[in-house]
Amino acid sequence: MGNAQGTPRPSDGSSPAPSPAVAGQPCAAGFGSDDGGDCPVPEEYRGRHGVFNVYNQRIDDPGSPSPSSATSAEGPRGSSASTRAGGWFGWFRGGSSSSSSSSARGYGDVVIDPRNNMPTNPRQHMAPGQRRPISIDRQRSTIPKSGNGSTWVYPSPQMFYNSLVRKGKADDCTEDDMASVVAVHNGMNEDTWRRVLTWERLHRDECANPMLLRFRGRPDDWSPLAYARYLLSGGKDKPFDRHDWWIDRNGRQVRYVIDYYFDEAKAGTAGQFDLVVRPAADSAESVLDRVKMTVYVGCALVGIPCPITGNNSEIGSEARAPNTTE
C-alpha cells in the first residue's frame, strides 16, 4: 500500500483463506460471475480499452465515506471523476481492498452475495442509455471449479457493459469495444491458470487435477516482489494489478500471488502482458517450491540438466514460456 508521500509499501500477507465449501463464483472475479469487469490495461497504453479492470475489482479511491456509493471488491466508491483521478495507480495513495461480510449487501438495486462479492442475479439486460444490443453469449473457461466438477463461465460482453455503466465508467468505452475487452479478460485468466498449473506440476503425485476455489483482487497491496521490482527499475516497472488465487489441491487450500504488468514496448503483441505467478510464502512447502522452480528455470535457461532430478527440466522450460494474451 502507499504511504502519504505516494511510495508503495509491500504487503504479501493475507488472512487464512475462507472455506471452500461454496460452489458459487470466485470472489471478486470477472469470470465465472454474474457480472462483468473492466479491462486490465492502463488507458495510456491502450486507449479507451485501457481504463477497465478485467477482474471486476475496484480501482478507485477507497477513502470515500459515502455508503450509497461504496461497494465491495465488486465496484467503485465515489464519483466517476474521482475514479478516473485515482486510475490504475491510485493505490499509491493507500487504502485496502474490502472484504466480505456475513450477510448479503446491496449496491443500488443489485444484491451482492457475501460468498463471492458478486451480484446474485445475472445482469444481461440492456443498460440505460445503451444504443444498440451487445452479445449476451458467455464462454466457458478451461479452469475447473472446485466443488461441482464444472468449469468457470466468463461474463458476456453485455455483463461487462452493464458493470461499467453501474460503476460510472461507460463514458470511456462503447458497445463496440466490449468484444475485444472480454477477449482480453478471458485470455488473461486462461494464461494465469496455465502458469498456476505449471507450479502445480511440482505436486502432481499428490494432486493430478488442481481446481480453483476462489480469488481476490488486491490492487491496493503490492507484493514484496513487486515492490522490489519497482525499486530496481527506478520506479518505472509498476504492476497494474495483483490477485491472490486459492487452489484446491486434494482438499488443501494453497494460495498463489499474481502480479500483472503491461509492457508498452510490446503493445499489441502476445508479449504485452507479464504475469508473475508464484505460490505465496505461507508455508515451508511453498517456499521450497519457489526454490525448486528457480533451479528448474535456471537450468532450462542455460540448457543443462537439473541438479535435483538429473534430467532436462520440462517444468522450467514450461515456466519460461511467453505469455499468450493479446
Query: What are the residues facing 245 on neighbouring strands?
Result: 215, 256
For residue 190, report the phi and psi dihedrals to the nearest 5 degrees. Answer: -65, -40
Q: What is the pLDDT of residues 155-213, one digit of tens each?
A: 899 988 888 888 787 887 889 889 988 998 899 889 999 999 999 999 999 999 999 99
Q: What is the residue-wise DSSP string for 64-129?
A: ---TTT--STTS--S-HHHHHHH-TTGGGG--------SS-EEETTEEEETTTTEESS---SPPTT
Mean pLDDT, rounded, for 105-131: 65
Mean pLDDT, rounded, for 33-45: 45
Mean pLDDT, rounded, for 39-66: 40
CA distances from 297 to 183, 252, 308, 323 (A): 30, 26, 12, 16
Query: In angstroms, what is the C-alpha Rg of the chain?
Result: 19
For position 276, what pLDDT does the model report?
Answer: 95
Put simply, whether the predicted model's pTM sits higher than 0.85 gets the answer: no
Annotated domain spans of the chain: 43-319
In angstroms, the CA 119 to CA 110 distance is 6
- Of these ranges, 151-160, 240-249, 296-305, 306-315, the one predicted with the greatest mean pLDDT is 240-249
Comparing 152 with 69, the larger pLDDT belongs to 152
Residue recorded with cell 487450500: 253
